[in-house]
Structure 1
Amino acid sequence: MVRWARAATVPVVLVVLISLSGVVLGRIYADGLLLQLVAGAAVLSVGAGAATRRLPSWTVAPLSVVLLAGYTLLALKVAAGRAGVPDPLPEVVRDALANGIPRLLTAMIPIESTPDTVVVPVVAAWLAGLAAHEVAARAGRVLLGCVPAAALYGGALYVVGPNAGSAGRATLAFAALVVVALAVTARPAAGPSLAGVPPAARAAVRGRALAGAATGLVVLLGLVAAVGPWVGGRVSATPVDPRRYVQPPQVDSLDESPLNRISGWALAPKQKLLEVGPSAPGAGRVRLRLAVLPDYDGITWRVGATYRNAGRVLPSPPSDPGVPVKRITQRITVRALTGRLLPVVPTPTGVDGTRIAYDAASGTVIRPEELAPGLSYTVTSAAPEPDYNLLPTADAPSGGAVARFLTVGAGVPDSVQRLADQLADGNGAAYDRAAAIEEFLSEHYRQVPDAPSGHAYPNLSFFLFGPRGQGGQRGTSEQFAASFALLARLTGLPSRVVVGFDAPKAGGPVTAGDAVAWPEVLFDDLGWVAFDPLPKSDEKPRPVEDDFTPKPSTPPPTSEPPPPTDTASASAPPALAEPPAPAAGGMSRAVVASGASGSLLLAVAAAALAVVLLRRGLRRRRLTAGGPAERITGAWFEFTDALRLAGRPVPGHLAATEAAAWATASPGEPEPLRPAVPPAGSDLPPLDELVTAVNTVAFAPGAADDEQALRAGTQAVAYADAVRARLPWWKRAWWSVHPGPLRWHRKVKGK
């Protein structure tokens, strides 16, 4: 009986050791299914080894692998059923085996027990049980047999990282079980028999053995006390999170700045993009959030989110104390919407019906795969309902925590900065500044569906101050939201741009005409508050010039009267000052005049030579220094400088394609909308490579390469040389020494 108990102790201990790995890892899972599956793998793998102990050792591994395949299929089927995955089992197995490791390390915590997040722990637990039993039970090396279980336990601790508390109790239990296994299976050392030895002698032998064991224990404890602090001082208090080494799902260029899609949707307002179920009884609209754009560099508002694979249950959104939330459940079906961003009512707490990745900072959701017509999912959201009566006294946060929402790109136009200063003047409270910006935009600008896309500094400057007869002061919600957010940041208000849809509360279709962008401002104790700068009526907006007059670039004259002088009045011809007579023995007037003239000519020549050298150095830096994006931007500056030197500066509101088309047209033509290729017979080189490169930098950051930058620079230089060759000789000479390119773009970062 005792012998049988000793033989059964090792398998039982191994099963518990492996199950403890499931206990540790299960702390970052949303339910207990992972622990059950890991414990099942431990029992079956160790049990299979015990059942085949009398078979040849070479047959155990193949039989165990066959059992592992069957158990893995069962585990994946159970996990798929628990998670509501509708895909057929072969597809579930293929996807789980192909993506198990990256999805486990990029999943949002708490992790839902889905097939792709349980397959790796289940397989690892089975293999650890197989190896541990073969070494500990079959080979009789108990301590060595505990190594696979210890490795699995350490791997579980590493995967958990800093995302759960310390596993002190489980670790102590693990160590205690190893000691129990060693103690139960220990055999007495071979030595002289104690048969026939008097009891006193036997007691002396046992006493010496106990004394030796006690001495060894004391020495061990002494080493732990001496070396422990040294080892502990070299171990970080916070474990490393392995998720930092794995790239989470990213949005593509289409979804990186969906603000650019507003104008395209506005041109096809009848296109059905979504079908939504009822979210609340009665009439009215509810806004679905598609993307949050907090980052602006003066060219593009970008998403800048970090998406983590998530299950059906999402972590509770951080809420400001005292702000009530309303639970909303809505069924959404995709019709013609493309990309990977999923529209949801903010802020989602659960999504059922499709696999998703979630960014907790913005509360937005993407689908790892492209959206497809017919995709249907259910969203449960906790919509905040702040008390807007507190807005007039609410403050806007500042400091490093909100620096991201106050950052703007370099080179803010002076006119935009002056407008922000005027709107902030006399409005000390945060809400007063936001309301002033909202009122100014809604009263002075017109919303039109056919306005060109764009929200870079030149586009916003043209929208705010461009002549109405030439398309200025008109835009879609893209320009209204982007202008509000920029002006808000310039007045010290943390702001961001949101893109989404106005959906009917009672349910129904959502069309492209329902797409809208709006700004949000962050307030203390209230969170993000949406503003609506769009016109409130169809009345003709007031001219901007009525309420905002750009100040002159030079300082105005002082109001103090000039000091009295003895000169004649302004109505009389100016008197010429008589030059003083030269001192005796000094140089004559002719010598002084000739010397001054020569010095002036030398100074002019030196200045011209300096400008030529500086211009050449500027071109070299623009086209060769920095990465592909910087060199493409430099090529674009060479192109625009060439047109400016030729007397045909590019209008600020034109996009890259339109600017290139304008550059290839005759001076008397209106702004054309044709490819950036000159007409047949023209001596101007094409600009298509330059335009493609500029659009790549603007709408697909990081996608440009060195070859594309080289082609863009070559086209820009060729075009500039061709335009210069058309000019008269005296204009070509002035072109070479014109100092304008040295200062025209100096406010642009990095140029």
Structure 2
Amino acid sequence: MGTGRAGDALLAGVVAGTLAGMLLAGRRVRRGRGIVVAAVVACVAAAGVFVPLPRLGPHQQVVAARPADPPETDPLSRLPRWNSSPAAPVLHARFAGPPGQAGRLWPLLAYDGYRADSGWQASPALTALPAAGGGTRVEVVLAHPERLVPHPFGVRTAHPAGTRYDPRSEALRTSGARTAYSLVVDTAPRAPGGRPLAAEPSTGCAGPELRSLLGRVHRNAPLADQLAELQQVVAGTGSADPAGPAEDGCAGVTAALREGHGTSDQYATAFALAARMLGASSRVVAGFAPQREVSVDGGLDVLGGDAVAWPQIACEGGVWVDYWPLPGRTVSGGVLASPGPAATTEAARPPAHRGTAGSGRAVWPLALAAGAVLLLSAVASGLVVLRDRRADRIAERRAAAARWAALDPRQRILVLWQRSLRDGGVAASRSTTARDVAAATDLPPLRELALLVDRTLYVPAAEAGTEEAERAARLAAAVRAGPGPGDESGAGRGRAGRGPLSRRRPPC
């Protein structure tokens, strides 16, 4: 049982125990009413365990809006607009030399901080780039003027002068909105990243949907194998909606996984957060992944349908490795090792990387407190039930004693006689007299009691007083006790005699 369900069960138990205690302490519960109370308590507890209660998420998750940054500083929010016009041109690039892998991915911004309410955050630290240097020159022409511009990995220099670049967040910003700029990039083959850098497992969104993804990954395998398997699991969870809204907060990501239909940034976010739960350093990049190769003359067209978000994992050797857990979406050449700055450890990352505050809050103190309350409620309810039952037995004995005290001696003797006939196993009809019973029975106390009844009840001159009633009580007690160990009167063969008026009592 999950934490939420365990909390519901404990809450239901506490409510049921408290309800039982209130009902039992507030009024004396008779036998029939006790069954009704037990049924009500059982229904309340079962409803709490098996019926999911509606949950109201925090306000930040219900209204998950990205901060009001200028559009060029938040390319994730612009992905739906680009994808809504998949054939619209975004840029045309021309490589003056061999492009290598430089034309396959064109990042705009890498996000490494995550908050469950507002999604991904980035804090570029831009520095000016030199205007000249060695490498492959790339001339870029944009379809619309921009300040935050796409670029290949490995930028060394840029023109116009004053262009600023942050290799950590892959942000390249020109001095003013423009449609043309040139870059010098490093297109030499780079060695792929080594093993993923291990970090303290953390998450900013620990919902059941993400945990379901991890449940399909072999956790005993090396971390690199777990990430490769996670990539396949996320890619097979549903279908992509390129033009859907940019909602990469916790609510949007869990809804996409639950419904099996989401955007590239939602699937990339799901992979990145699940990777952090596995103990890897991850981030999400917004940019373009052209679905066509660089032509023989070095030209490359990037269209609106190429806009996409993808996750990266920090690996040894100072590289970020791109992963593609996007349903129906691949990048030319498969998974690439993109050159980047030395990956930082989990402790050196911004606080937002560790998830929302309280996501790892322990629930054991609450569980123990709820269990203690439930136990105390059950004990209190049991004590109340025992007290009421004892009081009922005392009241019944007092009522029986009052009824007996109201009888006169002759009525008491008659009651004792009828009780002794039952205890002795004698079946007599209405015409049978006490004299007939005395002649037929083998029980001496019953025979003596029959003679007393015949003398005090059926002889008009006899008077039955307190002494006769007490004697009848002693004889009735002897009949109830049965024959003693030394009794040789023949009654040892049974509580009833062998006469025609006597027989054993039926078993029921």
Could you tell me the TM-score, scaled by structure 1's length?
Answer: 0.33
Higher strand share: 2
- Which has the bigger relative contact order, CA under 8 A and spacing at least 6? 2
The higher radius of gyration belongs to 2
- Point out the structure with the larger helix share: 1
